[in-house]
Amino acid sequence: MGELGLNFEVYRNDELTIEDVKRKNPRGILISPGPGEPQDSGISLQTVLELGPTIPIFGVCMGLQCIGEAFGGKIIRAPSGVMHGKSSPVRYDEELGKALFNGLPNPFTAARYHSLVIEQETFPHDALEATAWTEDGLIMAARHKKYRHIQGVQFHPESIITPEGKRIILNFVRFIEELEKQRAGEKN
């Protein structure tokens, strides 16, 4: 993110409390990859539920799993097995996925470093909508239906194996900027 000229602070998921995060008044929160499972991720689940309604959240890998589990999905072993350092074509819904994937080819290549996924059968369709998938139907991105600023990807945009990864991160930053403009306009 520093390579993109963005200002950010990094904290371990067990280093701060939710109150600490609130005091920092972040413009956005990135919930980064594992290791482990969402229930082992410090305050990540709590962050999604308590701060997500007002603060944009971008989940990466386990960050997406945290979003899925927070809203009722079950996290399971990936049916395709361990996907560490492998690339896959990812296809996205051009309307639902436009905030993150604007300007990307469809499909695009994404780096996968995971062994867990949100189970398709328990995907919380009442709260979330899938926005991208692998060719075999695994959910690779999702967003909240009401709080569309809660978004996540199962793959790794920061990896060199995701050629369009920087654009995805910048798209989320632009999404935050647009949301801030919209909120400022509502106050006036």
What are the tens digits of pLDDT across the range 148-180?
A: 999 999 999 999 999 999 999 999 999 999 999
Q: Considering the chain, what is the average pLDDT of its residues?
A: 94
Using left for φ > 0, alpha for ψ between -120 and 50, and beta otherwise, residue 85 falls in left
**Residue 31 CA to chain centroid, in angstroms?**
7
- pTM of the full predicted structure? 0.94
Please confirm, yes or no, whether 158 is among the known catalytic residues.
Answer: yes
Map tokens 């990896």 to a residue. Answer: 159
The one catalytic residue among 114, 144, 149, 156: 156
- Residue 82: pLDDT band (50, 70, 90) is confident
Give the model's pLDDT for residue 97: 94
Return the CATH number at 45: 3.40.50.880
Which of 163, 176, 114 lies closest to 139 in space, CA to CA?
114
- Number of domains forming the structure of the chain: 1
pLDDT at 1: 56
Peptide bond into 53 cis (omega under 30): no
Residue 11 has pLDDT above 90, yes or no: yes
DSSP 52: T
What is the residue range of 58's domain?
A: 2-187
Q: What would the mean pLDDT of 133-151 be, rounded to a whole number?
A: 96
Q: What confidence category does residue 92 fall into, taking pLDDT thresholds of 50, 70 and 90? A: very high
Tokens matching residue 128: 């979330």
Among the options 66, 114, 149, 158, which is catalytic?
158
Q: Are 151 and 142 in contact (CB under 8 A)?
A: yes
Give pLDDT tens digits for 30-78. 999 888 899 899 999 999 999 999 999 999 999 999 999 999 999 999 9
What pLDDT sits at residue 2? 63
State yes or no: is 66 an active-site residue: no
Say which of 61, 66, 69, 114 is annotated catalytic.
Answer: 61
First to last CA, the chain: 32
